[in-house]
Structures are given as C-alpha cells and as structure tokens.
Chains A and B, each alone.
Chain A
Amino acid sequence: MIDNLLVGSLILLVLSIFATVFRLVKGPSAPDRIQALDCLGINLIAGVAIFSVLLRNTGFFEVILLIGILSFIGTIAFARYIERGVVIERKQSD
C-alpha cells in the first residue's frame, strides 16, 4: 500500500517534470524558460524526498537543501540578467 502510493506519486512527479521540460523547450519568451527551470528544480526536490522515503534512507536530505539553494540562486541570477543586462552591479566611481 505505502510503496504503491509512493511509486504513484513518483509517476505523477515525472509527468509534471515532462510538462515543465515542454515549457522549457517551447516557451516563447525568456522569463517563461526561467519560470520552467525554477519549477523543474522544485519538482526535483519533491522527487528526491519521495525517493528517500521509498529507500528509508536519510542520506538524501543534503541533496534537498543543496538543490533548493542552487535553484534559487540560479533563478535570481537569470532574472536580474534579463531585467538589467548584468548579474552583479558595481558602483561606478567617477
């Protein structure tokens, strides 16, 4: 019962990852693609969590934390690049 539910939710997550990849490839504008990448990272976090329950193993929690942090930093960097053309702004000294 429990294992069947876990495998079913993994299948649902795989379907939703396919949907985000579709949006990532097709997306008409660049913010669409960034949004899809962010969503992909979040779905990946959920997938790793389900996998750790399926294996009864606590070793995957660092992976969850790291994917969360890296996906957030990547999204912020891409969005700033699209908005202003630079990632890190430096003060111009006269």
Chain B
Amino acid sequence: MSENNPIELIAVLLIFFGAIFCFLSSLGLIRLPDVYTRSHAASKGSTMGVLFTLVGTFVFFIIEGTFSIRLFLGIFFVFLTSPVASHVVVRSAYRSKVKLADVTVQDDLKAEMEEEGIETIEVHHK
C-alpha cells in the first residue's frame, strides 16, 4: 500500500464521487419512462460524474508532478460537447415523432411547432 498523502486522498475521493454520480445517472437511464426524461438523467448525471472523475485525475497527477495539457483538453472537450450532444439527440427524437410518456403534463414545443406548420406528435392525456 502506498503512503497516505491527504491531498492524494482528496483527489481519489473526487474520483469516487464521480463514479457514484455515474452510477446514479445510469439508474435514471434504466427507470425513467421516456426518451426526454432519460436524456435528462443521462446528460446531467454523466457529465457531472465524468467531470468529477477527470478533475480528480488531473489533481492526482498534479500532485505526482506532471501537469498534462492533454487531460486538461479532455476535460474541456467533455464539458463543452456532452450537453450539445444530448440536446441534438433530444431534438432529433422530437422531430422524428417519438412519443412522450403517458404521465406527461405539458408540451410547450407543440404549439410553437404548429405555428410554423410542422407536424407534431399526439400526446395521450390521462
């Protein structure tokens, strides 16, 4: 076992919290009812978890004595692209008429798209 440096322990705790975030977001990916809510869980949870993990790795290797600009670029890139990717996926899901869940209360985008003359999906209200 390696010597216990307290700052190293803080970095590893950051990594561990990131892994917990990833796990919780994947639970949301299993349990939520439709694409739109699932993308909420997947994008926010995973982005947060991966950012925690990568920042923990960054801090760990700074303590070890190497400042890696490639890892910094990786953090920046994930932070920039992950919300964009999930936005594009949900947009394509709405435009390709994937149905909302039965428990959906409100669909504001439908009125906007009908004004522009684009066909929208039927929502079944209970």
User: Closest B-chain residue to A32, C-beta based?
Assistant: B35
Say yes or no: A65-B30 contact (C-beta < 8 A), given A31-B93, A53-B60.
no
- Asked if A76 lies at the interface with its beta carbon under 8 angstroms from chain B, I say yes
Main DSSP-derived SS at the B contact region: helix
B-side interface residues, number (CB < 8 Å): 57
Let me know if B89 and A38 touch, CB within 8 A. yes
Say yes or no: A2-B26 contact (C-beta < 8 A), given A68-B78, A75-B88, A82-B92.
no
B53 contacts which chain A residues (CB < 8 A)? Answer: 9, 46, 49-50
- Asked if B98 lies at the interface with its beta carbon under 8 angstroms from chain A, I say yes
Q: In the docked arrangement, what's the CA distance between A45 and B42, Å?
A: 15
Least CB distance from A67 to B in Å reads: 9
Q: In the docked arrangement, what's the CA distance between A83 and B46, Å?
A: 24
From A5, A20, A29, A79, give the contact of B15 (CB < 8 A).
A5
Let me know if B70 and A9 touch, CB within 8 A. no
Let me know if B38 and A32 touch, CB within 8 A. yes
User: Closest B-chain residue to A19, C-beta based?
Assistant: B26
A20 contacts which chain B residues (CB < 8 A)? Answer: 26, 29
Apart from A3-B1, A8-B19, A53-B11, 12 more pairs, CB < 8 Å: A10-B19, A12-B20, A15-B23, A15-B26, A35-B35, A35-B42, A38-B86, A39-B29, A39-B46, A50-B53, A64-B54, A80-B92
Listed in ascending order, the chain A residues whose CB lies under 8 Å from chain B are 1-3, 5-6, 8-10, 12-13, 15-17, 19-20, 22-23, 29-32, 34-36, 38-39, 42-43, 45-46, 49-50, 52-53, 56, 58, 61-62, 64-65, 68-69, 71-72, 75-76, 79-80, 82-83
